[in-house]
């Protein structure tokens, strides 16, 4: 989707892809084949680019830092990336900056110290803490919302034995999950999109509603937090902050320094998409307007079904004439995120029902009544 | 732009390009290098595709017909393409079908017969006819709005000596130039976008306004003509009909069986773009909705300036935050169409002024007062 946005602006792209038939290669101007963690491949990529950026975070920060030291323009910078994606570093740094994060401890000592710290937090909270690997997780992986201390302890031991720090934190009883999205340039110029409501199951987003049930004052407060996070990190490009909306206010859940699944709706739903503004920001070009094109927008993720995608699935999805279908060209596997569908219009339930209809036609399991749950 | 739309839907594209660095190769999934008129290159392309389609008409119809005869799915068909793009065949066929075309004669005999027919038409009209080469023209090329009979006669002689038939027809005194756009599937399903007003200079479109000064009843009449043209031709894919709006009603000027410059505004301005619906139509998939996203939309073409594109031109254009900039990746030459800018909003003059500001920043000569000419 970044490459599609680049193509429109006449900006040439070179993609570092693990295989020559990777999904991204279809839209890329050119391809360097190699792993995102391979210093040789990274150097080959950097040699052909004015700026290196990312659409995922499973990168080798040390290899990127080496490139940066050689003068390669990496945006967001390795420093900002580290402070955001390493959950231990992030929670410590946000907490010091006064950003609202759940009560937490970082487990990065020896086994006894980790166990003691986890126990102390559990006693303080009066419940089993959520445990998260500091690195390498996404879409619910690397996070355990444990129901027993034994499970939490086992997960901590497993990650710690892999040399990964762990964050243990208070489970948050939330009324809603929100996502605030902005794009920021080097000098500090930033534009925010409307804060959205996300529907997550097992840490995986399945639906985004704009504006959803997010009141304007809550939306503004979330956007203000995202701006503080962006300033704090010195983020350049798109920054997504996932938040919990609770009776005690907003808490930062996750942060991503790249175009984010919760912002895919911006492709059709806003004057400028997150992908285009990410490109503009990392190239230090003026940012585009983020105005909504309609009062109600819904985006639903497409997941692989058992047995693969049925023949005729695309035709069935496109039979919903308002559906904006995006398929990423990935091989279908059960549960794999294969694309998304966006619908915009005037009625929130109507656009959601249409988006779910198209996503369902593409094989996504549709929860009973979800299309019209409000 | 077709490739960008295909990429979003997960549809793989192979582009036949004259050179490996052609603009379209940046967005294409894969490339076959060769001329559009080369039968060997066409066969190599066809071998890799489920369907062959076009984004220009400078093709070799005989070579395409040979492919079709071998069972290759060519959409629109060679027959429809011939009947549309050969202006002599088109005027004859439309006239027989009762479609509104200016008074015309086809000049395809010997020199004396051509001269006599041209003279007869001029006498009948009481003015110098417009002369058009039946094949090979676009963007004003191959058309002469002559002021003297001598000029018209010379142009006819030149084209006829190249073996090209010529259409001579009545100059049309029009109040406005319109373009009607639709997409049609094999079985006849069709969707139309809102008829637009175009501003043409020397046969080259520089501005499209949606809806412009086109009244709803005129827009509907133009769309009805486009539907009749599509049915008459058996068109599959996007069909654009350029019309003259006159005191005597609408007249068909030009017809194109492909996504058309007058429809570039649909990328952001309509629920489904002409590019996506062209793909859907040629793949026989359901067509998407064509609803407008805003009450006023303006699209302005970007032309190459003397001295090439200035450094910082893209940044200057993007400083207009509502501008949707599309650059085609073509080498800048004075007068060459390099891209377009679309702005949507609520006020027609405001969106036009913004679009012209961005196009001007990209080097397009901006006529005095054009940004707010109404």
Instruction: List the beta bridge partners of residue A132.
Output: A143, A167
Would an 8 Å CB–CB cutoff place A331 in contact with chain B? no
Would an 8 Å CB–CB cutoff place A187 in contact with chain B? no
Residue B291 lies in a domain: yes
Q: CA–CA separation, A47 vs A40, rounded Å?
A: 11
Q: Clarify whether residues B33 and B108 are in a common domain.
A: no
User: In sequence order, which residues have a C-beta less than 8 Å from that of residue A32 and are 6 or more positions away?
Assistant: A14, A15, A16, A17, A41, A44, A45, A48
Token readout for B177 is: 């130039």
Q: Clarify whether residues B45 and B124 are in a common domain.
A: no
Residue B124: give its domain's CATH number. 3.30.1490.20
Residue B98 lies in a domain: no
Residue A14 half-sphere exposure toward CB, CA atoms < 13 A: 15
Contacts of A280 in chain B (CB under 8 A): 318
- Given B134, B152, B169, the domain boundary residue is B169
Residue B40: give its domain's CATH number. 3.40.50.20
Q: What pLDDT score was predicted for residue A50?
A: 96
* Residue B282: closest CA among B123, B49, B112: B49
CB contact (8 A) between residue A321 and residue B294: no
Q: Please give the residue of chain B at the shortest CA–CA distance from A323.
A: B288
Residue A211 lies in a domain: yes
Token readout for A179 is: 């996502």
Q: Clarify whether residues A275 and A147 are in a common domain.
A: no
Q: What pLDDT score was predicted for residue A125?
A: 96
* Residue A251: closest CA among A143, A177, A183, A198: A177
- Given B59, B74, B89, the domain boundary residue is B74
Contacts of B27 in chain A (CB under 8 A): 3-4, 7, 27, 29
Strands (DSSP E) contained in A108-259 are 130-133, 143-144, 166-169, 176-184, 190-192, 196-201, 204-210, 237-246, 249-256
Q: Clarify whether residues B188 and B315 are in a common domain.
A: yes
Average pLDDT rounded to a whole number, residues A172-177: 96
Q: CA–CA separation, B212 vs B286, rounded Å?
A: 29
Q: What is the pLDDT of residues A99-157, one digit of tens each?
A: 999 999 999 999 999 999 999 999 999 999 999 999 877 667 889 998 999 999 999 99
Question: β-strand A30-33 against A130-133: which pairing, if any?
Answer: unpaired
Would an 8 Å CB–CB cutoff place B321 in contact with chain A? yes
Contacts of A329 in chain B (CB under 8 A): 7, 10, 12
Residue B212 lies in a domain: yes
Residue A351: give its domain's CATH number. 3.30.470.20
Q: What pLDDT score was predicted for residue A373?
A: 43
In angstroms, what separates the C-alpha of B194 from chain A's closest C-alpha?
16
User: In sequence order, which residues have a C-beta less than 8 Å from that of residue B47 and are 6 or more positions away?
Assistant: none
Strands (DSSP E) contained in chain B are 14-17, 30-33, 104-107, 130-133, 143-144, 166-169, 176-184, 190-192, 196-201, 204-210, 237-246, 249-256, 296-303, 324-327, 337-345
Residue A89 lies in a domain: no
Contact assessment for residue A185 and residue A236, using Cβ atoms and an 8 Å cutoff: yes
User: Average pLDDT, whole number, for chain A?
Assistant: 94
In angstroms, what separates the C-alpha of B172 from chain A's closest C-alpha?
36
Q: Clarify whether residues A268 and A342 are in a common domain.
A: yes
Q: CA–CA separation, A83 vs A91, rounded Å?
A: 9
Would an 8 Å CB–CB cutoff place A7 in contact with chain B? yes
The range of the structural domain enclosing residue B155 comes to 103-169
More confident residue, B21 or A340: A340
Q: C-alpha dihedral over A360, A364, A366, A372, to 10 degrees?
A: -60
CB contact (8 A) between residue A10 and residue B272: no
Q: What pLDDT score was predicted for residue A372?
A: 44
- Angle at CA A28, nearest 5°, toward A27 and A30? 145
Contact assessment for residue B109 and residue B118, using Cβ atoms and an 8 Å cutoff: no
Give, in order, the Cα–Cα distances in Å from B51 to each of A361, B13, B233, B237. 24, 10, 19, 12
Q: Clarify whether residues B236 and B302 are in a common domain.
A: yes
Would an 8 Å CB–CB cutoff place A21 in contact with chain B? no
Q: Clarify whether residues B241 and B343 are in a common domain.
A: yes
More confident residue, A355 or B23: A355
* Residue B365: closest CA among B125, B120, B201, B247: B201
Q: Clarify whether residues A182 and A155 are in a common domain.
A: no
Q: Please give the residue of chain A at the shortest CA–CA distance from B11.
A: A329
Total number of domains in chain B: 3
Please tell me the least confidently modeled range out of A2-11, A58-67, B74-83.
Answer: A58-67
Q: Best residue in B318, B340, B351 to probe A by mutation, most A CBs within 10 Å?
A: B318
Instruction: Please list the pLDDT of chain B residue by residue as tens digits (374 residues).
Output: 999 999 999 999 999 999 988 888 888 889 999 998 899 999 999 999 999 999 888 788 899 999 999 999 999 999 999 988 899 999 999 999 999 999 999 999 999 999 999 999 999 999 999 999 998 776 678 899 989 999 999 999 999 999 999 999 999 999 999 999 999 999 999 999 999 999 998 888 999 999 999 999 999 999 999 999 999 999 999 999 999 999 999 999 999 999 999 999 999 999 999 999 999 999 999 999 999 999 999 999 999 988 877 889 999 999 999 999 999 999 889 989 999 999 999 999 999 999 999 999 999 988 876 644 43
Instruction: List the beta bridge partners of residue B297.
Output: B210, B344
Give, in order, the Cα–Cα distances in Å from B332 to each of B23, B138, B310, B328. 12, 19, 10, 10
In angstroms, what separates the C-alpha of A184 from chain B's closest C-alpha?
14
Tell me the pLDDT band of A57, cut-offs 50, 70 and 90: confident
Q: What pLDDT score was predicted for residue A126?
A: 96
Tell me the pLDDT band of A202, cut-offs 50, 70 and 90: confident
Would you tell me the crossing angle of helices A87-96 and A216-233 to the nearest 10 degrees?
A: 110
Q: Clarify whether residues B192 and B137 are in a common domain.
A: no
Residue B85 lies in a domain: no
Q: CA–CA separation, A277 vs A233, rounded Å?
A: 18
Q: Clarify whether residues A220 and A320 are in a common domain.
A: yes
Q: CA–CA separation, B290 vs A137, rounded Å?
A: 41
Residue from the list A10, A271, A314 with its beta carbon closest to the beta carbon of B327: A10
- Given A24, A59, A74, the domain boundary residue is A74
Residue A87 lies in a domain: no
Average pLDDT rounded to a whole number, residues A61-68: 92
Reduce the DSSP state of residue A189 to 3 states and report it. coil
Q: CA–CA separation, B302 vs B261, rounded Å?
A: 12
Q: Clarify whether residues A218 and A127 are in a common domain.
A: no
Residue A154 lies in a domain: yes
Q: Clarify whether residues B160 and B12 are in a common domain.
A: no
Q: What pLDDT score was predicted for residue B21?
A: 85
Quote ipTM for the complex.
0.91
pLDDT above 60: residue A327: yes
The burial class, CB within 10 Å (0-12 / 13-18 / 19+), for A331 is exposed
Residue A60 half-sphere exposure toward CB, CA atoms < 13 A: 14
- Angle at CA B223, nearest 5°, toward B289 and B82? 100
Q: What pLDDT score was predicted for residue B136?
A: 77
Q: CA–CA separation, B188 vs A79, rounded Å?
A: 57
* pTM for the full predicted model: 0.94
* Residue A245: closest CA among A204, A200, A197: A197
Instruction: List the beta bridge partners of residue A67.
Output: none
Q: What pLDDT score was predicted for residue A8?
A: 94
Convert A210-233 to b/e letters by CB count within 10 Å (16 or more is b): bbbebeeebbebbbebbbbbbebb
């Amino acid at each position: 989707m970044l490459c599609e946005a680049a193509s429109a602006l006449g900006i040439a792209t070179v993609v570092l892809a693990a295989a020559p038939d990777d999904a991204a290669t279809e839209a890329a101007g050119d391809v360097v084949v190699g792993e995102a963690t391979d210093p040789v491949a990274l150097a080959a990529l950097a040699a052909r680019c004015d700026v290196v950026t990312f659409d995922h975070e499973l990168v080798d920060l040390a290899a990127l830092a080496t490139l940066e030291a050689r003068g390669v323009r990496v945006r967001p910078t390795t420093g900002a990336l580290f402070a955001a994606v390493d959950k231990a570093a992030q929670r410590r740094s946000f907490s010091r900056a006064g950003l609202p994060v759940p009560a937490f401890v970082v487990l990065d000592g020896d086994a006894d110290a980790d166990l003691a710290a986890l126990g102390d937090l559990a006693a303080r909270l009066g419940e089993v803490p959520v445990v998260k690997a500091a690195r390498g997780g996404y879409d619910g992986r690397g996070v355990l919302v444990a129901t027993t201390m034994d499970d939490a302890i086992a997960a901590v031991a497993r990650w710690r034995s892999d040399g990964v720090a762990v964050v243990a934190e208070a489970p948050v009883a939330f009324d809603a999950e929100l996502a605030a999205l902005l794009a920021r340039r080097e000098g500090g110029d930033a534009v925010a999109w409307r804060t959205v409501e996300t529907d997550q199951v097992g840490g995986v987003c399945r639906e985004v509603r704009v504006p959803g049930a997010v009141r304007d004052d809550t939306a503004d407060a979330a956007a203000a937090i995202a701006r503080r996070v962006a300033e704090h990190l010195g983020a350049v490009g798109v920054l997504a902050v996932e938040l919990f909306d609770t009776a005690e206010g907003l808490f930062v859940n996750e942060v991503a320094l790249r175009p984010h699944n919760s912002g895919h709706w911006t492709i059709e739903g806003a004057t400028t998409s997150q992908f285009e503004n990410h490109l503009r920001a990392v190239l230090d070009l003026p940012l585009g307007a983020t105005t909504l094109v309609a009062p109600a927008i819904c985006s639903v993720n497409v997941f692989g079904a058992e047995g693969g995608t049925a023949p005729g699935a695309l035709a069935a999805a496109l039979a919903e004439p308002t559906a904006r279908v995006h398929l990423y060209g990935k091989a279908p596997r059960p549960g794999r995120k294969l694309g998304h569908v966006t619908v915009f219009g005037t009625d929130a339930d109507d656009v959601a029902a249409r988006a779910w209809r198209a996503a369902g036609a593409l094989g996504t399991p549709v929860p009973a009544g979800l299309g019209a749950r409000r």
